[in-house]
Amino acid sequence: MQDDVDPVQAPRRARGRPRGWDDKTAQNTIKSLDRAMEVFEFLSTDQGKTLSAIAEQTEQSPATVYRILTTLERRGLVEHEADAQLWYIGAQAFVIGARFLRRTSLVERARPILRQLMEATGETANLGIEKSGMVLFLSQVETHENIRAFFPPGTLSPMYASGIGKALLAEMTDERALGVFTATEPVQFTQHTLRTGDDLLAELQATRARGYSIDGEEKNLGMSCVAAPVFDMNREAVAGLSVSGPTSRVSWDRLDQFSRAVRDAATALTHAIGGEVP
């Protein structure tokens, strides 16, 4: 006769999950894959590098890096320029990234709104989110002008030197915003870049009062931007919309026009994703 079964049992492991599923320590990682991803991520942020430069920057041997790169090249994730002996991100990386973008309705619903924003202002319209203390640009509709701002999907930019970044920082508490600002050594891109935490807090206070942010040549001289936040159903800022272009066109005398268009677009996208403006 079998023993009675204890009614209190350990939860059954979900199908497809090995033992130790929640254990994320080093013993459950594939070291060679981890090294490969380190090379891949480095190349994605600093393209056009030689084998020796990649090896030096990632602190791996040239032989290991070469094997990683040739493996990634076979998958189309990186490309090699033979004449200059330089390595770049490959087209397949974009294909995979595009599949991620299709996963979220934010990008899909933003496309027509970005196009309308570009047509209303005549300048490039952008969509971005916060990612690990940076602005990650997800989508863009470019202006037809010859001189234009260009932030291709996947571009990362410091939040304190970005219109979208400051729009999102303004929705955080001062303590959290300062934490983002000081998490890495701030870079002085131009003479207009915010220099100190006090500068940041003053800028965020002004942004909250206006309801939109301004990037006045803080990342690139001659380029300016106006941005506003997008909110989800919990009234939390989940993204930002902006228009950007040469300061000669995105100018102070047209600020009212740009700010109204950007705020209207951000409100439209907020409603399109089921969100609510605070």
pLDDT reported for residue 148: 65
Assess whether pLDDT exceeds 50 at residue 2.
Answer: no
Mean pLDDT, rounded, for 250-258? 89
pLDDT reported for residue 260: 95
pLDDT reported for residue 212: 96
Assess whether pLDDT exceeds 80 at residue 171.
Answer: yes
Mean pLDDT, rounded, for 215-225? 91
Contacts of 97 (CB under 8 A, 6+ apart): 153, 154
pLDDT reported for residue 153: 80
Give the global pTM.
Answer: 0.67
Mean pLDDT, rounded, for 42-48? 84
Q: Cβ of 167: how many Cβ atoms within 10 Å?
A: 33
Portion of the chain with pLDDT greater than 90, in percent: 59
The whole-angstrom separation of Cα 117 and Cα 124 is 8
Place of tokens 């600020």: 255
Asked which of 131-145, 165-179, 201-215 is least confident by mean pLDDT, the reply is 131-145
pLDDT reported for residue 8: 44
Assess whether pLDDT exceeds 50 at residue 21.
Answer: no
pLDDT reported for residue 3: 45
Portion of the chain with pLDDT greater than 70, in percent: 86
pLDDT reported for residue 26: 54
pLDDT reported for residue 176: 94
pLDDT reported for residue 4: 47
Assess whether pLDDT exceeds 80 at residue 100.
Answer: no
pLDDT reported for residue 275: 87
pLDDT reported for residue 251: 84
Query: What are the structural domains, with CATH classification, of the chain?
Result: 26-94 (1.10.10.10), 104-272 (3.30.450.40)
Read off the pLDDT of residues 107-160 as tens digits, 9 standing for 90 and up.
Answer: 888 999 999 999 999 999 999 999 888 999 999 998 877 776 767 788 889 999
Residue 198 one-letter amino acid: D
Mean pLDDT, rounded, for 241-265? 92
Question: How far lies 245's CA from each of 17, 131, 200, in Å?
Answer: 49, 23, 23
